Chains A and B, each alone.
Chain A
Amino acid sequence: MGRVRAETSAGWRSFVRRRTAVFFTFFFPVILIVIFGALIRTDPAGGGLFTEPAAFYVPGYLAVVVLFTPLSRMGSEVARHREGSRFEKLATTPLTRGEWLLAQTVVNAAIIGLASLLILGLVILLTGAEIVFSPLLVPYVLVGVVCFCGVGAMLGSYTDSQDGAVAASNGIGLPLLFLSETFVSLEQLPGWFEPLVNLSPLTYFARGVRAATYSGSETPAVAGVDPALANLAILAVLAVVAFALGARSIPQTD
C-alpha cells in the first residue's frame, strides 16, 4: 500500500500543478452541458436528437468525464512516462505495473468524482433534470473509471507518442460516447448496429446509471436481475479485464 500511496501522491500533485489540464478537465463537461443542456435543450414533445427528458441524458454527461478523462489522461501519462524513461526506472523498483495503474486510477477516480459532482449540480441547475440520487452512482463512476483507465493504459502503450495517444483516445472516445446509449437511444440507430452497441463498456455504464437515476427509464432487466445492479456487474467484469490488460500492456522493458 505504501508504494501505491507514494505513486498516487506524486500523480495527484503532478496533475493539480498543471493548471491548464485541471481547467480543461472540468471545463470540457461544463461546456458540453451548457451547449446541449442549456442552449440546445431537450424537446420531449418534438423531433430531433434530444427528444427525451433532461434526466435521460445524465448518464451521457457523466460519461463525458468517465470515458474521456481516463482515456486521454492515461494515454498521455503512459506516453509521457515512456518518453522520460520513467517506466525503465520504475521497472527497477518494487512497484509493479498493476500498482502503478492502480495509483493512476485512484488519481483519476478523485478527479472524475469531483467532476461528476460538478456535472450533476450543473445538470440539475441548468436543465432542470429530475434525477434520483442513487448510491449506485458512486460504484458506477468508480468501476467506469477503472475500466477506462485500463483502456487508456493500452492506448498509451500501443501508440508511439503523446500526440498519438491523445489522437487515439479522441478517435475511440468520440464514437463510443455517442454510440453507447448515452445521448442517442437505441431506437435512433439502425437495427443492425445493436450488437455493436452491446460491445461498448460505456453502454452498460449508461444503461445502469439511467436505471438507477432516471425514474422514466425503460432499461430492461438482465436475466431477471435489476438493471441497475446487472449492468454494474457486467461493467465490473469488463473493468477487471480492461485493468488487467492495461496493466499488462504497460511497457516494462524496451
Chain B
Amino acid sequence: MTAVVDATDLEKRYGETVALSGASLSVESGEVFGLIGPNGAGKTTLVRALTGTTEPDTGTARILGESPAAVDRDRLGVLPQEFSPPARLSARELLSYYAGLYDDPRDPDDVLADVGLVDAGETWYEDLSGGQQRRVCVGSALVNDPDLLFLDEPTTGIDPAGRRTVWGLIEDLAADGTTVVLTTHDMAEAERLADRVGLLADGSLVAQGTPEALVRDHGGSSRLTIETAADPAAFADLEYPVERPNQGRGRSPDSAVVVRDVDPAAIGTVVDYLEARDIEYTELSWAEPDLEDVYLELADTTERERTDRLGGGDGGTGESDLAQAGETA
C-alpha cells in the first residue's frame, strides 16, 4: 500500500493558540480516514495543512507524493468547512463553474445526479435548503473526479435522507479507489464510512485505528441503562458494576443508572433484581459500546490531562498512554 497522505509532527500556532501540536498521520491509497474530535481540536487546521491552504510552522506534509503546494490540483478535491459559493448561481451553474476550472472534468449533470439534486438543478444556491446547499458544495469537490478527496464536515446541516445520499456517494468513491479524508462530529458517519478513524484533541492525534479496534480498546463495556429515580445504593447487591452517568457528560440521562458488562442474555436477571426490590424504572435499554463511547472517553481523558497541566499537576507531556494504545489498535 502507498501512503497518499503522509504528515509528520505538524505544528501550527495562531498567536498564543496552539492549533496543531505534533499531529502525524498516514492515509493509504483507497482508504477512508475519519477525523473526529471536539470543536477547536484542530481538525480544520489539519485539513488546511494537508491541502496547502495553511502552512504549518513545523513538520512535513505530503499528499499524492508531493508537498501540498506542489500537488497536481486536478487530482485533488476539497470541501472546506464553511464554504459558501456564489449565491445567485443555480446548482447546475455552480457545478459547471467549478468543473470549468479543471482540465478534464466530469459532466456536471452527472455530479448533480450523484448528490441527488437533479430536480433542484435550476434553483439558485441561495434559494436551496441548507442541506441542499451543502450537497452542492459536496458536488463541487467531486467535479474533477479526484484521486484524493478532503471533506470537512460534509454532512453538516443535511437531513437524514440527504446524509445517506452523501454517505452512499462516499462509499461508491471509496469502492472506486478514491482516497478520502473526512472530518465529522457524527460518530455514526465515521463508524460507517471510515476504514480508520483518528481522534484529534488539543492539536494532537491521541488515538487512531479501525473503528472496531478503537471501540475494543477504548469503548469500555456494554451498557444497560435503567431510567430510575432510585439511589445507586439500591443496586449494591447486583453482581454487575453500577454507575451514575457523569453529570451531563455521559450518553445517558442524569436520572439513569448504568449497569456495565451485562450480557444480553442476562438482562432478565437484572429485571428480576429490580422487581424483587420494588425498584421503579421507566425505561431500560442495552447498548454495545461504539465510537461515541470512544470519543467521550478519549476526549474526556484529554480534557482531564489538560486541566491537570493547567492546574500545575504533573499531567505528563501530552504524549499520553492513549496515543500508544491507539497506535497499537
- Interface residues, chain A, with chain B CB atoms under 8 Å away: 2-3, 5-7, 9-10, 13-14, 17-18, 83-86, 88-95, 252-254
Contacts and interface: CB of A to CB of B under 8 A. Distances in A.
Contacts of B100: 2-3, 5-7, 9
5 contacts: A10-B93, A89-B78, A93-B144, A94-B102, A253-B54
Given A10-B89, A17-B88, A253-B54, A88 B83 contact: yes
Contact of B53 (A18, A94, A253): A253
Which residue of B53, B89, B93 has the most chain A CB atoms within 10 A of its CB atom?
B53
Contact of A92 (B51, B89, B96): B51
Contacts of B101: 3, 6-7, 90, 93-95
Contacts of A6: 96-101
B292 interface: no
Interface residues of B, number: 36
Contacts of B53: 88, 91-92, 252-254
Interface string B22-54: 000000000000000000000000001001111
Contacts of B86: 10, 14, 86
A14 B89 CA distance: 7
Given A7-B101, A13-B93, A254-B53, A85 B81 contact: yes
Contact of B73 (A7, A13, A17, A93): A93
Interface string B142-175: 0010000010000000000000000000000000
B76 A92 contact: yes
Contact of B48 (A2, A5, A88, A90): A88
Nearest to A15: B88
Contacts of A95: 101
Contacts of A5: 100
B83 A85 contact: yes
B290 interface: no
A16 to B, nearest CB: 9
Nearest to B77: A92
B269 interface: no
Nearest to B71: A92
B327 to A, nearest CB: 29
B237 interface: no
A89 B97 CA distance: 13
A3 B74 CA distance: 12
A10 B78 CA distance: 19
Nearest to A10: B97
B316 interface: no
B11 interface: no
Contact of A253 (B55, B83, B84, B99): B55
Contacts of A91: 51-53
Contact of B88 (A14, A94, A254): A14
Which residue of B77, B85, B99, B150 has the most chain A CB atoms within 10 A of its CB atom?
B85
Contact of A18 (B73, B74, B88, B99): B88
A163 to B, nearest CB: 17
Contacts of A7: 97, 100-101
Interface string B61-79: 0000000000001101111
B76 A86 contact: no
A17 to B, nearest CB: 4
The 9 closest A-B pairs by CB, nearest first: A6-B100, A84-B84, A92-B78, A17-B88, A10-B97, A85-B80, A94-B73, A93-B101, A88-B80
A160 B142 CA distance: 31
A92 B83 CA distance: 13
B189 to A, nearest CB: 21
B140 interface: yes
B90 to A, nearest CB: 9
Interface string B215-259: 000000000000000000000000000000000000000000000
Nearest to A19: B88
A83 B83 CA distance: 9
A92 B84 contact: no
B119 interface: no
Which residue of A5, A85, A88, A92 has the most chain B CB atoms within 10 A of its CB atom?
A92
Contacts of A92: 51-53, 73, 76-78, 150
Nearest to B100: A6
Nearest to A251: B53
A85 B78 contact: no
Contacts of A17: 88, 124
